[in-house]
Amino acid sequence: MRKRKQDYRLRRQKRQQIRQLIDAIESNDLNSVFNLCNSVLDINFPYRRKTPLEVAVELGHVQICCALLQKGADVNRCNQGLNNLLNIACQKGYIKVAEVLIMNSADIDSRNEHGATPLHSAVLNGFVQVASMLLNNGCDVDIPNDQVETPLMTAVRTNNLQMVDLLLNHNCLVDAHNFQMITALMIATGCGYLDIVGRLLIGGADINRRDRYGCTALFYAVSEGYRDVVKLLLSSGSDADIKTVKKLTCLTEAIRKNHIDVAMCLLDYGCNVNMCDRQGASPILVAISQLTVYFGQQENPRSLVNRFIELKCDVNLADNSGIRPLYQSAMGGDFELSKLLLENGADINAVDGNGDTVLHAAAYGNSFDLVKLFIELGCDINKQNDKGETVLWPTISSSNFQITEYLVKHGADINLQEKTEKMTPLHIAIAAHNIKAVRFFIESGCELNKCNTNGQTPLLLACEKGDDEVVEMLLAQPRCKRNCSSSIAPLHIAVEYGHLAVVKKLVEGGWNINQMNNVGQTPVQLACSLDSMNMVKLLLMYGCDLNAHTSFPLLLQLEADDDDSPFFVQEPFYSVTVNKNIDMIKLLIKCYQNIPTKTVKTIETLINTSSVISSLFTKDMKIQIAELMQKAHKYPRSLMEICRVVIRHQLGVNPRAKLDTIEKLAPSHKDYICMVEELKIDSPHIYKTGW
């Protein structure tokens, strides 16, 4: 215990002495420092993690450093960053302090936590005299730091020509590299330091050395657009045709980065004009791609294309996708450039990897002049690509009617089907909602009844898309078939997708409003099952028969299979009850000619006896449905309601049109018979024509 107290007192005494000494050092009080040095118990005792010598070095007090060293201060002590005192002095640029430390055997090549030596610190901070002193005292000029960066690379990165010259004069390794195999020359060229590049070349740097990605110093300069550096490297013998690991070339890199002046410089030094990159793109193709999608601020790539042609480059080289310069030019809509390529031997009949011709490309680019030029030069107007699409397809999709009209007038086949989905130009026009093209194809006599792979005729596709204007145009053509496969009836499709206006056009155009599909559903049954109130009202407005499904022989097979209730699940009344639509139940009761009492009773029984079905309805809903069911089969309708139902049944489809022919019948009577109030639709545009 006594020993511990003694140790504590000793440490406290040392701390007080060192604190006084450090205060004197910070005040640069030389006399006090000398006096305190003689009385201090431990000259290397740290106060706040710093020894007196470390404080003196940080402040650059040379005489104090000498005094402390004479008293035995540790010259190689390191701080928390593992910087020894010499490294600290070099970071600060205190050359006199550094000399004193070296004279007292400081480790001249000691490395800190980042692997930096005193020379690194001097170079990084630009202290040339300090670096020179270190080199003269025998420090290692090539020790790399933890990033494998030598002092020379650091000097280059900081753009310090004087430091670079000093290091080279001390025989540093000019081609030393880091983890990525990047050398000092590559750093200099990538940063555009022209003077340093020249000095490194004089110092023997390998001009064609490659990094781990295969990039040379020239590639770095080209990529950044340093024309003067590029010119210096080329004049010094750099190989402009070396490809990187990814098969990039200097010329295509310059063009893609829009460094046109650099690309011109490469061509002046004899760069290969036909060397392709990894994508197989030739330099002229890359230049045309840049010209058609991007314009640089310095110089237009068009001059570069002209230069390629002057150098007799191959204008028919295709990339890996089969795209050639003429195709790219046509797709960009460049008429003059396309003419220039044709004049210099471009193949007008070549196709790309998808089978597209230059005529397709011109259509993609919406260039009427090029389409016209290619047709005049003999391009096959009906040439199909791999998908079976002719040049008509892109013009329809882009709604370029001028080109579409020109192609048809010059022999484009308007009935040709593509290979994938068997779509005709008319199908494509309908899918793209290109009304002008649809009208033009119909007027030009195209086939109206061809089916695609989904069995869709143009009319059926228009019904699916909800395009009532196209439906009206097609129905106005006698060539358009009214009878259709029941499994894909246009009216059912329009009902399924909820296109009220299309349903209206079909019914007014003479379509069978009571047609059944392949599962025995009429349009109104389908609308009821989909719980579409407006659609049900529209079909009832046009006189659909709620009992029509019971008269078709298709359902006789259900009876033959011993089905006790062949119409039960098909019954509209059943569908609206399952959907819990009280308003629609009320509407159907008013509109049925013969209320399906058997269905009504069965539903009522199921709700009351089946726990599963009963759980689907709330208590209030059960009460409402029960009241409606009782009214449906126990209480007869009024005489007026019975008369209205009978009259509507006798009138059949579109009752209003037939009633309007009776001049003496009052409008109010017509409205009552047609149930105008009950069948009012929440869709005002439906009433633009007709009712």
pLDDT of residue 10: 61
What is the per-residue DSSP string for 638-682? PHHHHHHHHHHHHH-SSHHHHHTT-TTS-HHHHHHHTTTTTT--S
Which residue segment(s) compose the domain that 663 sits in?
575-687
Is pLDDT at 634 greater than 70 in this prediction?
no
DSSP state of 564: S
Is pLDDT at 619 greater than 50 in this prediction?
yes
CA–CA separation, 583 vs 682, rounded Å?
A: 14
Lowest mean pLDDT among 296-300, 310-314, 477-481, 548-552: 296-300
Q: Is residue 536 situated within a structural domain?
A: no
Is pLDDT at 282 greater than 80 in this prediction?
yes
Is pLDDT at 643 greater than 70 in this prediction?
yes
Is pLDDT at 184 greater than 90 in this prediction?
yes
Q: What is the pLDDT of residues 67-81, one digit of tens each?
A: 888 888 888 888 877
Is pLDDT at 561 greater than 50 in this prediction?
no
pLDDT of residue 295: 46
User: Taking a C-beta distance cutoff of 8 angstroms, is the pair 446, 415 a contact?
Assistant: yes
291 pLDDT band, cuts 50/70/90, is confident
pLDDT of residue 521: 83
| C-beta contacts of 256-260 below 8 A and 24+ residues apart | 256/286, 256/290, 257/222, 257/223, 257/225, 258/290, 258/294, 258/296, 258/298, 258/301, 259/222, 259/225, 259/227, 259/298, 260/296, 260/298, 260/299, 260/300, 260/301, 260/303, 260/304
Average pLDDT rounded to a whole number, residues 533-553: 82
- 236: tokens are 């010094």
The burial of 667, by beta-carbon neighbours within 10 Å (0-12 exposed, 13-18 middle, 19 or more buried), is given as: exposed
Q: What is the pLDDT of residues 193-205, one digit of tens each?
A: 999 999 999 999 9
pLDDT of residue 419: 92
| Contacts of 416 by beta carbon, 8 Å cutoff, 6+ apart | 382, 384, 388, 390, 392, 424, 425
673 pLDDT band, cuts 50/70/90, is confident
Positive or negative, the CA dihedral 609, 611, 613, 616 is: positive
- Determine phi and psi for 50, rounding to 5 degrees: -130, 135
The burial of 517, by beta-carbon neighbours within 10 Å (0-12 exposed, 13-18 middle, 19 or more buried), is given as: buried
Is pLDDT at 231 greater than 60 in this prediction?
yes
Number of domains present in the structure of the chain:
1
Element (H, E) at 482: none
569 pLDDT band, cuts 50/70/90, is low
What is the per-residue DSSP string for 420-481? TT---HHHHHHHTT-HHHHHHHHHTT--S----TT---HHHHHHHHT-HHHHHHHHT-TTS-
Greater pLDDT, 95 or 294: 95
Average pLDDT rounded to a whole number, residues 592-597: 76
Average pLDDT rounded to a whole number, residues 178-198: 96
501 pLDDT band, cuts 50/70/90, is very high
pLDDT of residue 236: 95
Is pLDDT at 672 greater than 60 in this prediction?
yes
Lowest mean pLDDT among 99-108, 426-435, 557-566: 557-566
pLDDT of residue 185: 97
Q: What share of the chain is helix, strand, coil (3-state, %, to 5)?
A: 55, 0, 45
pLDDT of residue 294: 53
Q: What is the pLDDT of residues 439-497, one digit of tens each?
A: 999 999 999 999 999 888 999 999 999 999 999 999 999 888 876 554 678 899 999 99
CA–CA separation, 361 vs 301, rounded Å?
A: 21
- 227: tokens are 């024309």
Is pLDDT at 552 greater than 70 in this prediction?
no
Beta-bridged to residue 50, according to DSSP, are 47
| Contacts of 689 by beta carbon, 8 Å cutoff, 6+ apart | none
Q: Is residue 379 situated within a structural domain?
A: no
Average pLDDT rounded to a whole number, residues 165-189: 95
Is pLDDT at 381 greater than 50 in this prediction?
yes
Average pLDDT rounded to a whole number, residues 509-524: 85
Average pLDDT rounded to a whole number, residues 17-42: 76
Average pLDDT rounded to a whole number, residues 133-137: 95
Q: Rounded to the nearest 5 degrees, what angle is found at the Cα of 144, between the Cα atoms of 140 and 147?
A: 165
What are the angstrom distances between the C-alpha of 681 and each of 369, 497, 513, 625, 657?
Answer: 50, 17, 18, 24, 18
Is pLDDT at 242 greater than 80 in this prediction?
yes
Q: Is residue 609 situated within a structural domain?
A: yes
Is pLDDT at 546 greater than 90 in this prediction?
no
pLDDT of residue 471: 93
| Contacts of 611 by beta carbon, 8 Å cutoff, 6+ apart | none
391 pLDDT band, cuts 50/70/90, is very high
User: Taking a C-beta distance cutoff of 8 angstroms, is the pair 117, 83 a contact?
Assistant: no
Q: Is residue 193 situated within a structural domain?
A: no
2 pLDDT band, cuts 50/70/90, is low
Lowest mean pLDDT among 275-279, 352-356, 408-412, 520-524: 520-524
CA–CA separation, 149 vs 117, rounded Å?
A: 11
- The radius of gyration of the chain's CA atoms, rounded to the nearest angstrom, is 46
CA–CA separation, 318 vs 332, rounded Å?
A: 17
| pTM recorded for the entire structure | 0.77
CA–CA separation, 459 vs 463, rounded Å?
A: 6
pLDDT of residue 654: 87
Greater pLDDT, 73 or 235: 235
Average pLDDT rounded to a whole number, residues 529-538: 91
pLDDT of residue 37: 76
Q: Is residue 224 situated within a structural domain?
A: no
pLDDT of residue 350: 94
pLDDT of residue 297: 37
Q: Is residue 631 situated within a structural domain?
A: yes
3-class SS of residue 335? helix
564 pLDDT band, cuts 50/70/90, is very low
- Which amino acid is present at 594? N
Greater pLDDT, 542 or 4: 542
Greater pLDDT, 184 or 673: 184
Whole-number average pLDDT of the chain = 86
Lowest mean pLDDT among 4-13, 336-345, 397-406, 618-627: 4-13
pLDDT of residue 616: 74
